[in-house]
Amino acid sequence: MVAILLGILVFIVAIIVWLHPKDNRHKVPPGPKALPLIGNLHMLRKQPHRTLQALAAKYGPIMFLKLGQVPTVVVSSPEAAELFLKTHDLDFANRPKFQLELWRGEKKGQRDVVTRTNEEVSEAEGEIDGKRMRNRVAMAAKFGMGEEGRMVVGWDGNLVKFLLRMLRDDHDHDDNNNDDVVVVIYMDKGIRKKVHKLRKPINEALEHIIEDHQNTNYDDDDDSPQKKDFVDILLSFLDQPMDPDEEQHKHVLTRNDIKAIMMDMIGAAYETSTSAIEWVMSELLKHPSVMKKLQHEIQHAVGGINKEVEENEIENMPYLDMVVKETLRLYPVAPLLVPHVSRNDVVIEGYYIKRNTQIIINAWAIGRDPRVWSENAEKFYPERFEHNNVDILGRDFRFIPFGSGRRGCPGAQLGFATIKFVVAQLVHCFNWELPFGMSCDELDMNETFGITIPRTTHLLAIPTFRLTAEAASNKE
């Protein structure tokens, strides 16, 4: 009986608090009413970036929600993003503690997508020499992605081969479908799920990289080709206290910590770039005139169709720059960036934001804001970037696919360059068309929400090699 009475009392208090949440001393940003316990979680649905955009249209660019018990401020305009990521950058530089779990829980069902894709792939078998074509596409893509492997963990291209092999081996085991003709541009999207399954070989690979670095003798000479990299710097802190000011030195940097950091860097680098490349290729297939214009530019910059693209030629491809920017505007890989957390109590635009409030920046909504990008904001139109110099690296808050400020993406320049390089190779080396007589209007452009927004279905496309035989024999 007492328990029932207590329960009723708690319920009444919760209702009263819910109906009268206003604390007159501290004005919180406007937002929808939160339910007891779940707060506003029930409102988010499957596409939180879209739901939050719609809610911001009602409550404004600085909006308060409760996600479960987590007080959250959602930022949805360039002006507001600047206040949070520049003016008060340091105040919002923390990250949530649960982030790792959230990251790990991502992408359930990826396996199903890959399996379904294989069934579709097998329908088109026999049209052309699939294996050869797949190798060429992988080669063209790897040419760019290899650079990332080297720069992130200093493993000269082998990392890409290793990861691609893991995917392919796993894939082939399942259905023995080696000679697929339609190329599935998924690259390494299923990696996170496979990472779990393939912990042992990944551990071996990371050990291999670490040993490689430990066995390298570096020459202090500035001109030496053997330079210290990110992994060397991590190794120089091995077994040292993470916080030298901490008296008992309880936390030291272990070999496992270093491997975890390396894996995070690899994850942050690969999944983001491949998702972006898939969206660029989708938009190009949907807009054949843009594809043609881009092929024309690349061919001109490279000097014909008898060779592949070289890295230093990318800077002579302004249209490629616009195409990639336009894709990242419409499909910022991390639509809500990565959550920030306030380190102090802060007042912004008259709103009181308590310490430990989660901050979500809706980069997806900002990129599609018609106030900023005109009425055709939803349209893929690379030329909008033609006569303006909109910065992509976080200095222009109308466009922040890499975030901004001290928590902005440290790999932004590398990521942007990699996307451009891989796309340039794929577009220059091949003509592309949609399979099964599909018209460009029929191409599904739906996204699936997670930390990143990949396509809901993998992009299937048929490549035809367009370079001369001379260029092909140089590569094979």
Instruction: State in angstroms the smallest separation of the CB of 152 from ligand HEM.
Output: 5
Binding mask 306-335 for ligand HEM (x = CB under 6 A): ---------------------------xx-
Interaction mask 84-113, ligand HEM, x per CB under 6 A: -----------x------------------
Report the residue number whose CB is nearest to ligand HEM.
Answer: 411
Give the footprint of ligand HEM on residues 140-179 (CB under 6 A): 148, 152
Helix-then-strand count for the chain, H and E: 18, 9
Minimum distance from residue 470 beta carbon to ligand HEM (Å): 33
Closer residue to ligand HEM (CB): 234 or 337: 337
Residue 299 to residue 282: CA distance in whole angstroms: 21
**Cβ atoms within 10 A of the Cβ of 457, count?**
16
**Which residue shows structure tokens 């600047």?**
82
> What does the CA dihedral 458, 461, 466, 469 come to, rounded to 10 degrees?
80
Least distance to ligand HEM from the beta carbon of 62, Å? 17
Binding mask 47-86 for ligand HEM (x = CB under 6 A): ----------------------------------------
Rounded to a whole number of angstroms, the minimum distance from the CB of residue 84 to ligand HEM is 10
Rounded least distance, CB 40 to ligand HEM, Å:
21
Residue 418 and residue 148 in contact, taking contact as beta carbons nearer than 8 Å: yes
Q: How far is the CB of 449 from ligand HEM (least distance, A)?
A: 14
Give the nearer residue to ligand HEM in terms of CB position, either 61 or 411. Answer: 411
Positions in 276-295 near ligand HEM (CB under 6 A): 276
Specify the pairing of strand 358-361 against strand 351-353.
Answer: unpaired
**In the complex with ligand HEM, which residue's Cβ is closer, 76 or 133?**
76
Residue 461 CB partners (closer than 8 Å, separation 6+): 182, 183, 185, 281, 285, 432, 433, 434, 435
How many angstroms separate the Cα of 35 from the Cα of each of 6, 296, 333? 20, 56, 31
Nearest CA to 140 out of 431, 452, 438, 359 is that of 431
112-131 footprint of ligand HEM as x/- string (CB under 6 A): --------------------
Residue count of the chain:
476
Question: Considering beta carbons, is residue 44 or 412 the nearer one to ligand HEM?
Answer: 412
Nearest to 359 by CA among 109, 73, 137: 73
Residue 344 backbone dihedrals phi, psi, to 5 degrees: -140, 170
* Burial of 126 per CB tally in 10 Å (0-12, 13-18, 19+): exposed
Pick out residues in 391-420 that bind ligand HEM (CB under 6 A): 401-403, 407-411, 414-415, 419
Instruction: For residues 18 and 39, give the distance between their C-alpha atoms in angstroms, rounded to a whole number.
Output: 10
Q: Smaller CB distance to ligand HEM: residue 65 or 328?
A: 328
Amino acid identity, position 83 = L
Q: Is 273 in the site for ligand HEM (CB under 6 A)?
A: yes
Determine the size of the site formed for ligand HEM (CB under 6 A). 24
* Nearest-approach distance from CB 374 to ligand HEM, in angstroms: 24
Q: Which stretch binds ligand HEM (CB under 6 A): 64-72, 129-137, 207-215, 265-273?
A: 265-273
Q: In the 8-state DSSP scheme, what is residue 357? A: -
Quote the Cα angle for 447-453-457, to 5°. Answer: 40
Q: Measured from the CB of residue 434, what is the shortest distance to ligand HEM in angstroms? A: 24
Judged by CB, which is closer to ligand HEM: 152, or 163? 152
Q: Which residue's CB is nearer to ligand HEM, number 59 or number 270?
A: 270
Q: How far apart are CA 7 and CA 17, in angstroms?
A: 15
CB 347 within 8 A of CB 88: no
CB of 139 to ligand HEM, least distance (A): 21
Binder of ligand HEM out of 268, 314, 317, 426 (CB under 6 A) = 268
CA 215 vs CA 208, 211, 235: distances in Å: 10, 6, 12
- Point out which span in 73-81, 160-168, 267-275, 439-447 binds ligand HEM (CB under 6 A): 267-275
Half-sphere exposure of 359 (CA within 13 A, CB side): 34
Q: Which is nearer to ligand HEM, 121 or 323 (CB)?
A: 323
CB-nearer residue toward ligand HEM: 81 or 301: 81
* 409 belongs to an annotated ligand binding site: yes
Residue type, 363: A
193: Cβ–Cβ under 8 A, 6 or more apart, which residues? Answer: 107, 110, 111
Min dist CB 190 to ligand HEM, Å, is 18
CB of 273 to ligand HEM, least distance (A): 5
CA distances from 441 to 336, 464, 476 (A): 28, 21, 36
Q: How large is the C-alpha radius of gyration of the chain?
A: 25
Chain position carrying tokens 């063209």: 140
Binding residues for heme: 409
Which residues sit at the interface with ligand HEM, rule CB under 6 A? 95, 148, 152, 265, 268-269, 272-273, 276, 333-334, 337-338, 401-403, 407-411, 414-415, 419
Binding residues: 409
